[in-house]
Amino acid sequence: MHDDLRPGLRYRHSFAVPDSKTVPALYPEADEFAAMPQVFATGFLVGFLEWACILALKPYLDWPREQSVGTHIDVSHEAATPPGLTVTADVELTAVDGKRLVFRIEASDGIDVIARGTHERFVIDRERFDARLAKKRR
Protein backbone atom coordinates (compact mmCIF):
# COMPACT_ATOMS: atom_id res chain seq x y z
CA MET A 1 0.00 0.00 0.00
CA HIS A 2 1.46 3.34 -1.01
CA ASP A 3 2.13 5.98 1.64
CA ASP A 4 0.15 8.59 -0.29
CA LEU A 5 -3.17 6.74 0.25
CA ARG A 6 -5.01 9.18 2.50
CA PRO A 7 -8.54 10.22 3.42
CA GLY A 8 -10.04 12.57 0.87
CA LEU A 9 -9.41 10.30 -2.12
CA ARG A 10 -12.48 10.51 -4.38
CA TYR A 11 -13.54 8.38 -7.30
CA ARG A 12 -16.53 8.27 -9.65
CA HIS A 13 -17.56 5.17 -11.56
CA SER A 14 -20.49 4.68 -13.95
CA PHE A 15 -22.17 1.58 -15.32
CA ALA A 16 -25.13 1.05 -17.66
CA VAL A 17 -27.49 -1.42 -16.00
CA PRO A 18 -28.15 -4.45 -18.25
CA ASP A 19 -31.01 -6.94 -17.83
CA SER A 20 -28.48 -9.38 -16.33
CA LYS A 21 -28.08 -7.16 -13.23
CA THR A 22 -31.77 -7.05 -12.31
CA VAL A 23 -33.60 -8.85 -9.49
CA PRO A 24 -34.82 -11.81 -11.62
CA ALA A 25 -31.18 -12.52 -12.60
CA LEU A 26 -29.83 -12.40 -9.04
CA TYR A 27 -30.51 -16.06 -8.22
CA PRO A 28 -31.90 -17.80 -11.31
CA GLU A 29 -32.56 -20.85 -9.10
CA ALA A 30 -35.07 -18.87 -7.01
CA ASP A 31 -38.58 -18.71 -8.40
CA GLU A 32 -39.26 -15.89 -5.93
CA PHE A 33 -36.64 -13.64 -7.54
CA ALA A 34 -37.83 -14.57 -11.04
CA ALA A 35 -41.29 -13.25 -10.17
CA MET A 36 -40.01 -9.86 -8.97
CA PRO A 37 -39.72 -6.57 -10.91
CA GLN A 38 -36.91 -6.18 -13.42
CA VAL A 39 -34.94 -3.46 -11.60
CA PHE A 40 -31.29 -3.13 -10.53
CA ALA A 41 -30.90 -5.70 -7.73
CA THR A 42 -29.58 -4.66 -4.33
CA GLY A 43 -27.08 -7.53 -4.49
CA PHE A 44 -25.66 -6.20 -7.75
CA LEU A 45 -25.76 -2.63 -6.39
CA VAL A 46 -23.51 -3.70 -3.51
CA GLY A 47 -21.09 -5.28 -5.98
CA PHE A 48 -21.11 -2.11 -8.08
CA LEU A 49 -20.26 0.01 -5.02
CA GLU A 50 -17.43 -2.37 -4.12
CA TRP A 51 -16.16 -2.16 -7.70
CA ALA A 52 -15.99 1.64 -7.47
CA CYS A 53 -13.97 1.42 -4.24
CA ILE A 54 -11.62 -1.18 -5.74
CA LEU A 55 -10.99 1.07 -8.74
CA ALA A 56 -10.34 4.03 -6.43
CA LEU A 57 -7.74 2.03 -4.48
CA LYS A 58 -6.02 0.17 -7.30
CA PRO A 59 -3.46 2.90 -8.17
CA TYR A 60 -2.40 2.99 -4.50
CA LEU A 61 -1.80 -0.75 -4.17
CA ASP A 62 0.96 -2.96 -5.53
CA TRP A 63 -1.60 -4.67 -7.75
CA PRO A 64 -2.09 -7.61 -8.16
CA ARG A 65 0.02 -8.70 -5.16
CA GLU A 66 -1.94 -6.34 -2.94
CA GLN A 67 -5.70 -6.23 -3.26
CA SER A 68 -8.60 -5.25 -1.02
CA VAL A 69 -11.57 -7.19 0.24
CA GLY A 70 -14.87 -5.87 1.50
CA THR A 71 -15.55 -6.53 5.17
CA HIS A 72 -18.59 -4.38 5.96
CA ILE A 73 -21.21 -2.44 4.08
CA ASP A 74 -23.96 -0.25 5.49
CA VAL A 75 -25.95 1.06 2.56
CA SER A 76 -29.51 2.09 1.79
CA HIS A 77 -31.17 1.21 -1.49
CA GLU A 78 -33.53 4.14 -1.89
CA ALA A 79 -34.91 4.03 -5.43
CA ALA A 80 -35.55 1.47 -8.15
CA THR A 81 -33.52 1.66 -11.37
CA PRO A 82 -34.72 -0.01 -14.58
CA PRO A 83 -32.25 -1.57 -17.00
CA GLY A 84 -30.88 0.85 -19.55
CA LEU A 85 -30.19 3.65 -17.09
CA THR A 86 -26.62 4.46 -16.10
CA VAL A 87 -25.79 4.32 -12.40
CA THR A 88 -22.94 6.43 -11.04
CA ALA A 89 -21.15 5.82 -7.77
CA ASP A 90 -19.26 8.56 -5.97
CA VAL A 91 -16.93 7.18 -3.31
CA GLU A 92 -14.69 9.01 -0.87
CA LEU A 93 -12.07 7.46 1.36
CA THR A 94 -12.81 8.83 4.83
CA ALA A 95 -10.45 6.79 7.02
CA VAL A 96 -7.20 4.87 6.76
CA ASP A 97 -6.40 2.81 9.86
CA GLY A 98 -3.48 0.57 8.95
CA LYS A 99 -4.88 -1.80 6.33
CA ARG A 100 -8.50 -0.91 7.21
CA LEU A 101 -10.08 1.58 4.79
CA VAL A 102 -13.49 3.24 5.13
CA PHE A 103 -15.44 4.85 2.30
CA ARG A 104 -18.46 7.11 2.17
CA ILE A 105 -20.54 6.00 -0.81
CA GLU A 106 -23.41 7.43 -2.80
CA ALA A 107 -24.95 6.34 -6.08
CA SER A 108 -27.52 7.81 -8.44
CA ASP A 109 -29.22 6.75 -11.65
CA GLY A 110 -29.43 10.21 -13.23
CA ILE A 111 -32.93 10.68 -11.82
CA ASP A 112 -32.71 9.68 -8.15
CA VAL A 113 -30.10 9.08 -5.50
CA ILE A 114 -30.38 5.30 -5.28
CA ALA A 115 -27.93 4.48 -2.49
CA ARG A 116 -25.93 6.04 0.34
CA GLY A 117 -23.83 4.65 3.13
CA THR A 118 -20.40 3.44 4.13
CA HIS A 119 -18.16 0.61 3.05
CA GLU A 120 -15.13 -0.89 4.79
CA ARG A 121 -12.32 -2.73 3.02
CA PHE A 122 -9.05 -4.32 4.15
CA VAL A 123 -5.86 -4.45 2.13
CA ILE A 124 -4.63 -8.03 1.71
CA ASP A 125 -1.54 -9.75 0.43
CA ARG A 126 -3.10 -12.05 -2.17
CA GLU A 127 -0.61 -14.89 -1.69
CA ARG A 128 -1.11 -15.00 2.10
CA PHE A 129 -4.88 -14.67 1.69
CA ASP A 130 -4.96 -17.61 -0.73
CA ALA A 131 -2.80 -19.70 1.63
CA ARG A 132 -5.25 -19.14 4.51
CA LEU A 133 -8.16 -19.93 2.23
CA ALA A 134 -6.51 -23.18 1.13
CA LYS A 135 -6.44 -24.33 4.77
CA LYS A 136 -10.23 -23.94 4.92
CA ARG A 137 -10.64 -26.18 1.89
CA ARG A 138 -8.92 -29.13 3.55
Q: What is the number of structural domains in the chain?
A: 1
Q: Answer for the pair 49, 115: CB distance below 8 angstroms, yes or no.
A: yes
SS3 33: helix
Domain range enclosing 46? 10-137
The enclosing domain of 46 has a CATH number of 3.10.129.10
| Average confidence (pLDDT) per 10 residues, the chain, 138 residues | 95 98 96 96 98 98 97 98 98 98 98 98 97 92
Task: Count CA within 13 A, CB hemisphere, residue 68.
Answer: 29
| 32 annotated active-site | no
Instruction: With respect to residue 63, please indicate whether it lies within any of the assigned structural domains.
Output: yes
Q: Is residue 4 part of a domain?
A: no
* pTM of the predicted model over 0.75: yes
| 94 in any annotated domain | yes
Whether residue 90 is contained in a domain is answered as: yes
Residue 127 annotated among the catalytic residues of the structure? no
29 is catalytic: no
Compute the mean pLDDT over every residue in the chain, rounded to the nearest whole number: 97
Alpha helices in the chain (DSSP H): 23-26, 31-34, 42-57, 126-137
